[in-house]
Structure 1
Amino acid sequence: MTTVSDQLDVLVEPQPSSARRTVPIWLALIAASLPMFMATLDNLVMTSALPVIQQNLQATVGQLQWFMNAYTLAFATLMLAAAGLGDRWGRRRVFLYGIALFTAASIASALSTTPAMLIAARAVQGVGAAAIMPLSLTLLAGAVPAAKRALAIGVWGGVSGLGVALGPVIGGAVVDGVSWQAIFWLNVPVALVAVPLALYALGESRGRRAPMDLLGVALAGAGVFLGVWAIVHGNDDGWTSAMVLGSLAASALALTGFVIHELRTPNPVMPMRLFRSRSFSVANVIGLAFTLGMFGAVFLLAQYLQIVMGYTPFQAGLRTLPWTAAPMVVAPIAGILAPRVGLRPLLVSGLTLQAASLVWMAMILEPGTSYGAMVPALAMAGIGMGLTFAPSATAVLIDMAEVDHATASSVNSTIREVGVALGVAVLTAVFLGKGGSLTPAGYADGLQPALLVGAASVVVAIVAALAMPSRKEQSV
């Protein structure tokens, strides 16, 4: 008897090259980007819903962080493994399995009745997203002629920005109009469209077939998880407590062991040779520092609009659009400009706008501040994000052989998701440590120092961007 698994294997089995269809570039772009949009949407779709979920599930502040970080940590730690599986089993095959798992976990999230259930379901959702995000860029790069690749990556970055933009808006609209559970049910119809589209428009491809570096995956995952756990629990348990210090020490040991192991193993999950490329190395420093500062700020500001300003979830989501929607417009433009002006000017300009915006908001946000006073800073942040997304994605692949595209993209996506998790943890720890609370009177007390820490992290990214090779040193 033919099982469902057997049927799926037949569906995703690579076709001979002679049988592959020639499809329009725009269709391949949609096929690669739609599942990625779904995965990026779920990074922030919960931000507008967190106050409602807190009340319905009686969640603590720490659990609110884990609703976000369970997803981002699973996402981050397994992307490299997913890319390796894609190289061995077929990138489109693993991409489709990721969509299926992501959708199943979305259903489980919607059915959760306790914080623990939701955290567990979000973690599984992150596992599915780990197979979607890096392979979407790899499949797109393989489907687009080299001459049009920078533009395609720019559009891909714009779609990623659209996921960021619509996350708070869609989450808020659905929570106001239906329920918080519905934000997860939305993924089901998207997946029903995405799977047949990917089967039609994306060809199968493979990379180097090497044994899976399970020890490397375990060491990286343990190091990141223990570090974030310690940061999340530092304020509650005490920064000098045995559990927090022990977790930080174990995290440092695991990450050190990971680097040593990757340098010695013949089949590393994160090949250190990739970091010989200056563009690749700089892009990853930027990815970590920029996402730490900006996405930690998004987490806090989305709740500020509800808790302090009194907006509903949907109203709050709409009011993030000057920030979150701008990348959708600016990122494709940056992708077009990159070959003409080079990556460095775009990155430095974009990151400078973002750091300045966080400082601006830190100075003006307090009880009684009007939303109108925030708009210029929000728009500045959004334009800066748009100038950063596409050039940084281009820098990741620009010096890489095609066979390394999946691994290089996975490394960068992993580092950026670690930045998201660290951003939520670090900025929330600063927020709570400075006396911030989830009340109108107490929120601003912790928000200002948290935003300034976020700005400092983006300044680190600016310094790194200055080391990006110039246009003369590198052909875009």
Structure 2
Amino acid sequence: MNAFTPLQRGVVVVAILASFVTFLDGTVVTVALPAISRELGGGIITQQWVVDAYLITLSALILLAGSVSDAYGRVTVMRIGLIAFGVASVAVALAPDPLVLIIARAAQGAAGALLVPSSLALITATMRGEVQSRAIGVWTAFTTGAQLVGPLMGGLFVDLLSWRFVFLINVLPIAVNLILLQRLHLPERERPTRVDWWSGALCALGLGALVFALIEQERFGWSSPAIWMPGIIGIVLMAAFLARQQRSRAPLLPLSMFRVRNFGWGNLATLFVYAALSLNGFVIGVYLQQGPGLSATAAGLASLPVTILMIVLSSRAGAWAGRFGPRLFMAAGPLVMAVGALLLLTVAERFDYWWQVLPAMIVLGLGLSLTVAPLTSAILGAIDESRSGIASAVNNAVSRVAGLLVVALLSTIVGGALDQDGFHNAAWVTAALFALGGVVSWIGIRRNPAEPDPDETDAAHETA
């Protein structure tokens, strides 16, 4: 991080640590799910709820949090989020039964919603151009690395201690970040912005009802009033939420932002890419334990090559995107990841990690390294700094909703059971989602207006 000034370096560290805990907790739970089921009871539906309770509140409240961050100050909101996340993490670790665990996971997601938009907004508010792209690349490398190393850390804790310690990993980075925030004296840009609390309620209740119907339909069936009624209520509430965004003076989801080319197309690509990542992470973490019978640690180690490649290459990809534009990287990266997902079809009853899983992990890591930093930079660089908080919140909400929906549909995707056939079904769906992300990026993404296109610059010089 030698390319940054001391203040910029401090901002990047704070942003990484604040986002680290939310990204980590979104994935660290995956390898702990079998151990949680053994101790507290529950099958695949309970496992889905442990993941989705966190994602529901994170997804539903992240838009509201972005608006609150812009209105009341990013540093203040970050401090509140860090403290609340720490308290909720302890509650998860102490949960005596599945219901308390799921409620505490929902509380974690609500606190996490305060952290992600405010942390990334600090970067977009203090840096622009190639420096911003490089900073986002560093942020992406470490936060995505947290997502990917989460299963490994979770596996070690499950095997050596208990799944409960998995959720106490957050305490140290939260404490360190609170100290750094106190010492850095980062400037606040508080503005007297209205916050649309009603929209936040509509979004939260609507998403919750829809996800309930998607998860529980496997148990009750679509014809049950316990399923179709929440489904209809969820659709009505989400429609009301979108309608309110068109009339609200301070919308949580400013629909006009989607008319900005890179923001609109970039978020569509985000939807496909992060749905694929969430599906892939879930099925690998659970199947490798329940299928081949690997330990939690070994299942976590399976994705380590992706983490290493992300840390090594992501910052460089962000810098390349700042120089050459994001389109090529955002198109090629997901297509490479689609190939990696298809390589998982080689997983057979006679399991061999080195020939059946490792090649897929390497290809997935290369594609992910090319994709994430350019994607984030293209989307946030398209929006003015004054709305960086809400822009970050929208993009993160899209990625979380993508993961939320694909995990809710997991039983349908795998055919009811995460056996070998179900694992292969998930690989096909993952590859298709990645490919869609690449195609969408190639069609829609262009260089942001603030960034000069080298080809256009050369043509202008030749004309002159």
Q: Distance in 1 between matches of 2:194 and 2:321?
A: 37
* Counterpart selection for 1:448 from 424, 430, 434: 424
* Counterpart selection for 2:349 from 367, 388, 391: 367
In the alignment, structure 1 residue 89 sits paired with structure 2 residue 72: yes
Q: Is the CA contact (8 Å cut-off) linking 1:28 and 1:202 kept in structure 2?
A: no
Mean CA deviation greater in 158-167 or 402-411: 158-167
Shift of 1:233: 1.3
Shift of 1:146: 4.5
Structure 2 match to 1:3: none
| Aligned-pair Cα RMSD in Å | 1.8
**Cα-to-partner distance string for 1:263-321 (whole Å, 9 max, x where unaligned):** 11111111111111110011111111111122112101111111122221111111221
Q: Report the secondary structure of 1:81's partner residue.
A: helix
Structure 2: 5+ residue stretches without partners: 453-464
Map 1:110-125; keep pairs closer than 5 Å. Answer: 110-125=93-108
Structure 2 match to 1:148: 131
Q: Is the CA contact (8 Å cut-off) linking 1:82 and 1:131 kept in structure 2?
A: yes
TM-score by length of 2: 0.92
State the AA in 1 paired with 2:288.
Answer: L
Structure 2 match to 1:162: 145
Shift of 1:360: 2.3
Q: Distance in 2 between matches of 1:106 and 1:472?
A: 39
Mean CA deviation greater in 311-320 or 410-419: 311-320
State the AA in 2 paired with 1:412.
Answer: N
Q: Distance in 2 between matches of 1:358 and 1:172?
A: 22
Q: Distance in 2 between matches of 1:125 and 1:435?
A: 28
Q: Distance in 2 between matches of 1:207 and 1:379?
A: 44
Shift of 1:208: 4.2
* Counterpart selection for 1:104 from 84, 87, 100: 87
Q: Report the secondary structure of 2:232's partner residue.
A: helix
Q: Distance in 1 between matches of 2:128 and 2:374?
A: 18
Q: Kindly tell me: are residues 285 and 180 of structure 1, through their superposed partners in 2, closer, same or farther at Cα, counting changes over 3 Å?
A: same
Q: Kindly tell me: are residues 208 and 468 of structure 1, through their superposed partners in 2, closer, same or farther at Cα, counting changes over 3 Å?
A: farther
Fraction of identical pairs, as percent: 30
In the alignment, structure 1 residue 264 sits paired with structure 2 residue 235: no
In the alignment, structure 1 residue 436 sits paired with structure 2 residue 412: no
Shift of 1:257: 1.6
Q: Kindly tell me: are residues 295 and 472 of structure 1, through their superposed partners in 2, closer, same or farther at Cα, counting changes over 3 Å?
A: closer
In the alignment, structure 1 residue 255 sits paired with structure 2 residue 238: yes
Q: Distance in 2 between matches of 1:325 and 1:236?
A: 39
Structure 1: 5+ residue stretches without partners: 1-21, 438-442
Shift of 1:348: 0.8
Q: Kindly tell me: are residues 428 and 328 of structure 1, through their superposed partners in 2, closer, same or farther at Cα, counting changes over 3 Å?
A: farther
Q: Distance in 1 between matches of 2:106 and 2:448?
A: 44
Q: Distance in 2 between matches of 1:114 and 1:410?
A: 32
Q: Is the CA contact (8 Å cut-off) linking 1:428 and 1:450 kept in structure 2?
A: no
* Counterpart selection for 2:381 from 398, 413, 437: 398
State the AA in 1 paired with 2:422.
Answer: G
Structure 2 match to 1:128: 111
State the AA in 2 paired with 1:345.
Answer: L
Map 1:20-419; keep pairs closer than 5 Å. Answer: 23-144=6-127, 146-201=129-184, 203-206=186-189, 208-361=191-344, 363-372=345-354, 373-419=356-402
Structure 1 match to 2:434: 458
**Cα-to-partner distance string for 1:147-198 (whole Å, 9 max, x where unaligned):** 5111001101111111112100110111112111111122112211110112
State the AA in 2 paired with 1:468.
Answer: G
State the AA in 1 paired with 2:109.
Answer: G
Shift of 1:220: 1.6
Q: Distance in 1 between matches of 2:278 and 2:218?
A: 20
State the AA in 1 paired with 2:423.
Answer: L
Give the count of matched residue pairs.
Answer: 447
Q: Is the CA contact (8 Å cut-off) linking 2:124 and 2:380 kept in structure 1?
A: no
State the AA in 1 paired with 2:122.
Answer: L
Q: Report the secondary structure of 1:281's partner residue.
A: helix
Q: Distance in 2 between matches of 1:143 and 1:246?
A: 47
Shift of 1:262: 0.4
Q: Is the CA contact (8 Å cut-off) linking 2:72 and 2:191 kept in structure 1?
A: no
Q: Is the CA contact (8 Å cut-off) linking 1:79 and 1:410 kept in structure 2?
A: yes
Q: Distance in 1 between matches of 2:404 and 2:307?
A: 18
Shift of 1:390: 0.5
Structure 1 match to 2:451: 475
Q: Is the CA contact (8 Å cut-off) linking 2:70 and 2:387 kept in structure 1?
A: no
Q: Distance in 2 between matches of 1:270 and 1:294?
A: 24
Q: Distance in 2 between matches of 1:211 and 1:25?
A: 29
Q: Is the CA contact (8 Å cut-off) linking 1:92 and 1:202 kept in structure 2?
A: no
Mean CA deviation greater in 397-406 or 220-229: 220-229
Structure 2 match to 1:9: none
Q: Distance in 1 between matches of 2:315 and 2:229?
A: 45
Shift of 1:452: 1.5
Q: Is the CA contact (8 Å cut-off) linking 1:98 and 1:131 kept in structure 2?
A: yes
Q: Which runs of 4+ in 1 moved over 4 A?
A: none
Q: Is the CA contact (8 Å cut-off) linking 2:125 and 2:388 kept in structure 1?
A: no
